[in-house]
């Protein structure tokens, strides 16, 4: 990329759209974020995305934009720029890249949001020489991204990398996907919250009873971290178990893919990174084959909420030979 060329990266999520403008060093020069409550019911859902992009470009002083990258949840068809199915947003076969490319008259690339988060943490992190990378993002759900030979893996369906739906307990608790015993059903923030709510109801967590009462929606990752800092041992045990199970899934992936780098991100990692690192390292030691695990570095991502939008901008630059 030349110094007067800029790229827009967009993260389209269930609750917000984030649009960033980056320079040729992939530094963010402007950022626009909009809440998306109710917007999916609009007849033209792209309008809100267009508006967010335009505001971010305006804030950057209307520089020359040479491309746009978009990250969206759910499986995508990256070749044709189509979001295949995103129940959260109500989109089915939505040709978002084509619509935006026509509107802004620049190339537009699309990929799954977790793939792009993994992509950015890898290429903007200290292990960018790695060729094989696994990204695991535990939060409300548990997302995954796979990179093999420096390329994002989509598989035959477009939806490869569903780390959260690795089965860890046959006949285990019901998952949002309809199966039982998925990692996500056992170790996502929703699963952790369910167990902590039971602790509160049994009167076994004084700190959380005072803090959240019976309103389980207040059990955010940061509140869980606070409870542990206040010595709530049973809360810590619940988190350690979830982190360990996440580590077992990662160990399975190490055995299959033999990556050099595993990147951890998402809300639970941001709030409880130390516990997650410890338990994941323990699980990998116990469940990954020694020959394969020796080569792996397990790192916590540094980009936070910007990861997906930055990954979208990076992928756009790469596909248009600007990287």
Q: How far is CA 135 from CA 117, 192, 262, 266, in A?
A: 8, 21, 6, 10
Q: Which is nearer to Zn ion, 13 or 172 (CB)?
A: 172
| Cβ closest to Zn ion, residue 235 vs residue 242 | 242
142 binds Zn ion (CB under 5 A): no
| Six token digits for residue 245 | 């199970």
Q: In the set 175, 199, 272, 313, which binds Zn ion (CB under 5 A)?
A: 175
Is residue 179 at the binding interface for Zn ion, with CB under 5 A as the rule?
yes
Stretch of 47-55, 175-183, 242-250, 308-316 contacting Zn ion, by CB under 5 A: 175-183
Assess 198 for contact with Zn ion (CB under 5 A). Answer: no
Binding of Zn ion by 166 (CB under 5 A)? no
Among 34-42, 153-161, 171-179, 298-306, the segment contacting Zn ion (CB under 5 A): 171-179
> Residue 92 is encoded by which pair of tokens?
């089915």
Size of the site for Zn ion (CB under 5 A): 5
177 binds Zn ion (CB under 5 A): yes
Report DSSP state, residue 167. B
Q: 31, 22, 30, 17: which is closest to 65 by C-alpha? A: 22
187 binds Zn ion (CB under 5 A): no
The C-alpha atoms of residue 118 and residue 136 are separated, in whole angstroms, by: 8
Q: Which two tokens stand for residue 226?
A: 């606070």
Please check whether residue 185 is in contact with residue 217, taking contact to mean a CB–CB distance below 8 angstroms: no
Instruction: Indicate which single residue of 114, 152, 165, 224 sits in contact with Zn ion (rule: CB under 5 A).
Output: 165
The continuous run of DSSP H or E covering 118 comes out as helix 113-123
For the CB of residue 252, give the shortest distance to Zn ion in the complex, in Å. Answer: 15
Nearer to Zn ion, 165 or 293 (CB): 165
Residue among 293, 288, 186 at smallest CA distance from 241: 186
Q: Can you name the residues that pair with 261 across neighbouring β-strands?
A: 133, 297
> Which one, of 79, 63, 50, lies nearest residue 21 by Cα?
63
Determine, following the binding rule CB under 5 A, whether residue 182 of this chain makes contact with Zn ion. Answer: yes
285 binds Zn ion (CB under 5 A): no
Tokens describing residue 278: 């410890």
d(CA 147, CA 163): 13
Q: Which is nearer to Zn ion, 151 or 179 (CB)?
A: 179
**Window contacting Zn ion (CB under 5 A); options: 26-34, 123-131, 168-176, 207-215:** 168-176
How near is the Cβ of 223 to Zn ion at its closest, in Å?
A: 25
CB of 191 to Zn ion, least distance (A): 11
Q: Which residues bind Zn ion (CB under 5 A)?
A: 165, 175, 177, 179, 182
């Amino acid at each position: 990329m030349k110094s007067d060329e800029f790229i827009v990266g967009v993260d389209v999520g269930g609750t917000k759209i984030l649009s960033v403008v980056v320079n040729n060093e992939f530094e963010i020069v402007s950022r626009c974020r909009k809440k998306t409550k109710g917007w999916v019911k609009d007849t033209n859902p792209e309008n809100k995305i267009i508006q967010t992009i335009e505001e971010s470009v305006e804030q950057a002083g209307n520089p020359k934009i040479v491309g746009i990258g978009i990250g969206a949840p759910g499986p995508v068809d990256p070749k044709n720029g189509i979001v295949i199915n995103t129940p959260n947003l109500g989109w089915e076969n939505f040709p978002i890249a084509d619509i935006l490319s026509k509107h802004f008259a620049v190339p537009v690339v699309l990929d799954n949001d977790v793939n792009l988060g993994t992509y950015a943490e890898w290429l903007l992190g200290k292990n960018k020489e790695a060729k094989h990378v696994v990204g695991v993002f535990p939060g409300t759900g548990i997302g995954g991204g796979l990179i093999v030979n420096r390329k994002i893996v989509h598989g035959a369906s477009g939806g490869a990398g569903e780390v959260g739906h690795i089965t860890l307990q046959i006949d285990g608790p019901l998952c949002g996907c309809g199966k039982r015993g998925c990692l996500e059903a056992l170790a996502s923030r929703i699963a952790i919250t369910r167990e902590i709510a039971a602790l509160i109801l049994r009167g076994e967590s004084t700190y959380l009873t005072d803090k959240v009462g019976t309103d389980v929606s207040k059990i955010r990752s940061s509140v869980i971290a606070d409870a542990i800092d206040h010595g709530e041992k049973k809360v810590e045990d619940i988190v350690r178990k979830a982190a360990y199970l996440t580590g077992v899934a990662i160990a399975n992936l190490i055995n299959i893919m033999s990556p050099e780098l595993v990147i951890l991100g998402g809300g639970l990692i941001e709030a409880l990174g130390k516990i997650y690192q410890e338990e994941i390292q323990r699980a990998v030691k116990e469940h990954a084959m020694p020959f394969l695990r020796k080569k792996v570095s397990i790192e916590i991502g540094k980009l936070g909420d910007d990861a997906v939008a930055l990954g979208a901008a990076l992928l756009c630059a790469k596909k248009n030979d600007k990287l």
